[in-house]
Amino acid sequence: MNQIVDTIFNSINDLIASAIKGIPAVLAAIIILILTKFVADFICRLVSKIGEQTIKSNSLQLLLAKTTHVLVWVAGILFAAVVAFPGLRLGDIIATLGLSSVAIGFAFQDIFKNFLAGILLLAQEPFRINDQIIVGEYEGTVEAISVRTTQIRTYQGERVLLPNSTVFTSAVQVRTAFNYRRTDLGVGVDYNTSLPQAKSILLKTVDDIQGILESPEPEVDLVSFGDSSIDLIVRYWTAPSQAVVRRIQSKTIIAIKAAFDAADINIPYPIRTVYHYDQHDYNDYLPNGAQESNDSKEYANHH
């Protein structure tokens, strides 16, 4: 019995001695991780400054900074692990990562998926920071692409965080992809209007509006005979920003209304014509039997 107790005490003493011997290594590993944070932040800022001076694309600058930050952290963690466990070799770490990769993949698949999608978005640049985009039901200005999400500021001043994987696999409409953007503005004139005159007035009106581009040239198309009007569409080009598009559209509507008023051209209201009949003279809604009986009576009365 005493031998068993002695064995237990010896084992506990050995564990305590090993733990005490390992304390400096663990403390050193903790210090390495703390230093890694400061080094990663410093190098990230340094790389960002260098990227701003050498790379024009904001997306590529952000990608370079994020990649550098992640690599510094990976190196720091590996170094801390080797210091904390002196017997640990790089091959053992790789083998451990290989064995646990399946479990980690299942546990963090959404994180990895969004991270890789974010890297691809920054590398391929389907859109850039400050571009105005539409993704599904969300529309606004791209403010940032982080490790997990794409951040959009809507025109109403709200922030929307979209998972990178959703943005990467969805149809994205980039409204500011080009230097100019077309607006199609519909207008109707009554049937007594001279169409060449109306078209000439519309073209002259949009030509005089500041903010509408001269090239491509504005166009006016006659599109249809409506119920109460002949419908036209004014097509003109402006800068692509949503604020510019809306401001120019308001100015154009005001100018067209003033020009039509000056030329005595009416923009008609929807018109419906209602005919009133004496229902005693018509039996369209009578049942078939009642209609036949009514027809027989009318025949008898006439003969």
Q: Which of 4-13, 58-67, 191-200, 209-218 has the lowest mean pLDDT?
A: 4-13
Look up the CATH number of the domain holding residue 228. Answer: 3.30.70.100
Using a pLDDT cut of 70, give the percent of the chain over it.
73
Using the 3D structure, point to which of 140, 156, 174 is the last residue of a domain: 174
Taking the CA atoms of residue 55, residue 45, residue 65 and residue 54 in that order, the dihedral angle to the nearest 10 degrees is 10
Residues 25 and 132 in one domain: no
Claim to verify: residue 92 and residue 170 sit in the same structural domain: no
Listed range (70-74, 153-157, 180-184) with the worst mean pLDDT: 70-74
22 or 197, which is more confident? 197
Burial of 117 (0-12, 13-18, 19+ CB in 10 A): buried
- The tokens for 223 are 């599109």
Identify the band that residue 300 occupies on the pLDDT scale cut at 50, 70 and 90.
very low
Cα–Cα distance measured from residue 139 to residue 223, given in angstroms and rounded to the nearest whole number: 29
How far is Cα 196 from Cα 76, in angstroms, rounded to an integer?
75
Could you list the residue range(s) of the whole structural domain that residue 53 is in? 2-107
Mean pLDDT of the chain: 80
What average pLDDT does the segment 111-121 reach? 82
Assigned domain for 28 exists: yes
Q: Per-residue pLDDT averaged across 252-279, rounded?
A: 84
Task: Let me know whether 182 and 290 are in one domain.
Answer: yes
Q: Higher-confidence residue: 88 or 218?
A: 218
What pLDDT is attached to residue 132? Answer: 95
Model pTM score: 0.63
In a shared domain, residues 148 and 29: no
Say if residue 59's pLDDT is above 60.
yes
Domain for residue 120, yes or no? Answer: no
- Whether 112 is in a domain gets the answer no
Tens-digit pLDDT profile for residues 19-33: 566 677 778 778 888
* CATH number (domain holding residue 148): 2.30.30.60
Residues 159, 185 within the same domain: no
Domain closes at, from 142, 174, 206: 174
Position 283 scores a pLDDT of: 57
Strand, helix or coil for residue 145: strand
Question: Are 202 and 170 part of one and the same domain?
Answer: no
Same domain, 190 and 292: yes
Q: Count of domains in the chain?
A: 3
